[in-house]
Amino acid sequence: MSLTIIPASVHPDLARHQESMQPQVFTLNGNIHTAFGFAIVNCTLIEGDDACILVDTSTSVDKAEIVAAEFKKITEKPIKTIIYTHFHADHVSGTSAFVSEAELEEGIDVIGQEELVDHVMRDVGLIAPILGRRAMYQFGMRLPIGQDGTVGAGLGPPQRPGKRSFVPPNKTFEKIYKGTTGGINFEVHLIPSETEDQCAVWLPDSKVLLSADAVYESFPNVYALRGTRFRNPMIWAQGVDRLREFAAQILIPHHGRPVEGVKKIDELLTDYRDAIQYLHDQTLRYMNKGFTPDEIKEIVTMPERLRDHPWLGEFYGSYKHAIPAIFVGYLGWYQGDPVELNPTPWKEKASRYIDIMGGREKVISLAAEALGADDEQWAAELLTWLVRANSDDQEARAMKAEALRRWAYQQKNATWRNWGLTSAMELDGKLDLAGGGMVLGSPDQVKGFPLVNIMQVMTVRLKSEESWDYHMRVAFETSDTEERCALEIRRGICQFYENPPIDFDARVTFNRKSLLNWIFSKTTFDEAVGSGDIIIEGEVDTVATFLGKFEPFNQSDEISLAAR
């Protein structure tokens, strides 16, 4: 069947939204400089008498270098304090562009909430392969930039993969941190909202509030398509209420532009929290009547004043991708119909439906008809059965790719657009599927993680089918930083011990550098043992067998999302 490829286009609202994000540095109160539009995220430099405070360090070292150069044009005063507002990679990954390792050693306060590192580790460790892959779709990182690709992320300019570093906080706190740098008094307040560790920075003398990601220039991402834990909308709305209590004169969000004026800020924050609560309350209202997420999506729309609010456009978050997350957050995945409990297997179901529909050729012609009638969604849904039944069906894949492209061009939501176009690339066989493993964890990033966090990841790398009859306990130790932990494979599961038990079958000692070399496959286990970089107490072969029970730490499975 011949396929018409339609020319690329961008939803006019999305195009306008993205075009307004040209890079610029806003200077507020004379001494506060917010770099906007250089990356998906803002960084803010607060200039004191003889030293500066930096809030957030951008999404990658490459982007951070550009921002650091901009800040250098403004002031040469050294950065003495760095504050991370929360753990998301776009806020913590460029630190090394602003301060050198030597400066860090001389004493720079790096301030973060006490659970920040644990959150980073979950994303960069336990679920890194899938989260990294899905983030690539959400941000359209492999798409060209422009009409035929990504125009941005919905809350900033296009996000590109880049080199990431991670400098963990050396000053942590639970709820509030107060300090003074260069004569500037500052407070960091834990205000759970978009994330559990979200913090706002308050400058009491100038009444300036840095609101991090509790509010940004888009409808809030109550759910992130890349995958996230439940973001309880009511915790978020209450977080915005706490921001209102500051009665700030200047509000600096870290995605979006600063806002000035007490009244204007209060009105914005009130509308923002109202939109969040509205979606939450109406979703629960219909959940309580037994409605399913898809049914609720059909019903719940926003009041006009909030729908058309300049800060609440569905460019990043959307009602339709938030509603099922709210449902799942409260009730879990089960919608209540027992046909969901043990469904007909995935591929078998597809084959049976295709038979009922009249066979493959019939489905192809129905899909072509739908495409001809501009019903891309239906075309894509029909073709999904063919691709599911046979993922090598190139004609079905090409047609579904075209349906998804046409669908994506019409989307106002940047993450939907990015996901649709990336899926089309995957179906066309033009997307490199390799790149699982520690895609979020570059050596520079992992370097900053404690041994326990690194080794804990091994538990979800266990090849259980090779260890059903196997039992062994190995202790791990670093010679330079004196960190310890242990892993025990016990007939199909691997238990992690933060404090190693006294009895173990073998002990592995390495320094941090040799650990990283091994993890990132710069050397093999045998080579490292041979050169003395890894010291084994016990049988070398036994330890090698033990480690062989795990998938390689930095594995690179092929991961496909659209063609399954």
Q: Tell me which stretch binds Zn ion (CB under 5 A): 140-148, 209-217, 220-228, 532-540.
A: 209-217
Which residues 414-453 are close enough to bind Zn ion by CB under 5 A? none
Q: Which is nearer to Zn ion, 87 or 419 (CB)?
A: 87
Q: How far is the CB of 105 from Zn ion (least distance, A)?
A: 29
Q: How far is the CB of 222 from Zn ion (least distance, A)?
A: 14
Which position's Cβ is nearest Zn ion?
A: 213
Residue 507 burial class via C-beta count within 10 angstroms: exposed 0-12, middle 13-18, buried 19 and up: middle
Q: Which is nearer to Zn ion, 153 or 398 (CB)?
A: 153
Number of residues that bind Zn ion (CB under 5 A): 3
Q: Tell me which stretch binds Zn ion (CB under 5 A): 205-213, 260-268, 403-411, 541-549.
A: 205-213
Beta bridge partners of 212: 253
Q: How far is the CB of 40 from Zn ion (least distance, A)?
A: 7
**Do 90 and 146 touch, CB atoms closer than 8 A?**
no
Q: How far is the CB of 195 from Zn ion (least distance, A)?
A: 9
Positive or negative, the CA dihedral 232, 159, 47, 311 is: negative
- In terms of Cα–Cα distance, which of 224, 157, 225 is closest to 195? 224
Q: Tell me which stretch binds Zn ion (CB under 5 A): 90-98, 126-134, 317-325, 521-529.
A: 90-98
What is the Cα–Cα distance from 487 to 39, expressed in whole angstroms? 40
Q: How far is the CB of 221 from Zn ion (least distance, A)?
A: 9
56 binds Zn ion (CB under 5 A): no
Q: Which is nearer to Zn ion, 214 or 354 (CB)?
A: 214
447: tokens are 């370097």
**Do 161 and 63 touch, CB atoms closer than 8 A?**
no
Q: Tell me which stretch binds Zn ion (CB under 5 A): 57-65, 206-214, 278-286, 526-534.
A: 206-214
Which residues 22-41 are close enough to bind Zn ion by CB under 5 A? none
Residues 6+ apart with CB under 8 A from 337: none
Name the strand (E) or helix (H) holding 488: strand 484-490
Q: Give SS3 for 47.
A: strand
Q: How far is the CB of 59 from Zn ion (least distance, A)?
A: 9
Q: Which is nearer to Zn ion, 31 or 221 (CB)?
A: 221
Q: Which is nearer to Zn ion, 140 or 437 (CB)?
A: 140
What is the Cα–Cα distance from 213 to 236, expressed in whole angstroms? 10
**Do 454 and 519 touch, CB atoms closer than 8 A?**
yes
In the chain, how long is the greatest CA-to-CA distance?
Answer: 77
Q: Which is nearer to Zn ion, 88 or 400 (CB)?
A: 88
Print burial letters for 245-256: b (CB count within 10 Å at least 16), e (below 16).
Answer: ebebbbbbbbbb
* 3-state percent breakdown (helix, strand, coil) of the chain, nearest 5: 40, 15, 40
- In terms of Cα–Cα distance, which of 182, 203, 185 is closest to 50? 182
One residue of 47, 213, 274, 477 binding Zn ion per CB under 5 A = 213
Q: Tell me which stretch binds Zn ion (CB under 5 A): 165-173, 213-221, 490-498, 518-526.
A: 213-221
Q: Which is nearer to Zn ion, 115 or 537 (CB)?
A: 115
Q: Which is nearer to Zn ion, 198 or 514 (CB)?
A: 198
Q: How far is the CB of 183 from Zn ion (least distance, A)?
A: 29
Q: Which is nearer to Zn ion, 88 or 473 (CB)?
A: 88
Q: How far is the CB of 143 from Zn ion (least distance, A)?
A: 20
What is the Cα–Cα distance from 361 to 341, expressed in whole angstroms? 31
Q: Which is nearer to Zn ion, 213 or 402 (CB)?
A: 213
- In terms of Cα–Cα distance, which of 8, 9, 11, 37 is closest to 313? 11
Which residues 345-404 are close enough to bind Zn ion by CB under 5 A? none
Q: How far is the CB of 107 from Zn ion (least distance, A)?
A: 28
Q: How far is the CB of 139 from Zn ion (least distance, A)?
A: 12
User: How many CB atoms sit inside 10 A of residue 364's CB?
Assistant: 18
Q: Tell me which stretch binds Zn ion (CB under 5 A): 21-29, 89-97, 135-143, 461-469.
A: 89-97
Helix-then-strand count for the chain, H and E: 22, 18
Q: Tell me which stretch binds Zn ion (CB under 5 A): 82-90, 425-433, 462-470, 535-543.
A: 82-90
Give start and end residues of each alpha helix (H) in 410-523: 414-427, 443-446, 451-456, 512-519
Q: Which is nearer to Zn ion, 80 or 255 (CB)?
A: 255
Binding residues vs Zn ion (CB under 5 A): 88, 90, 213
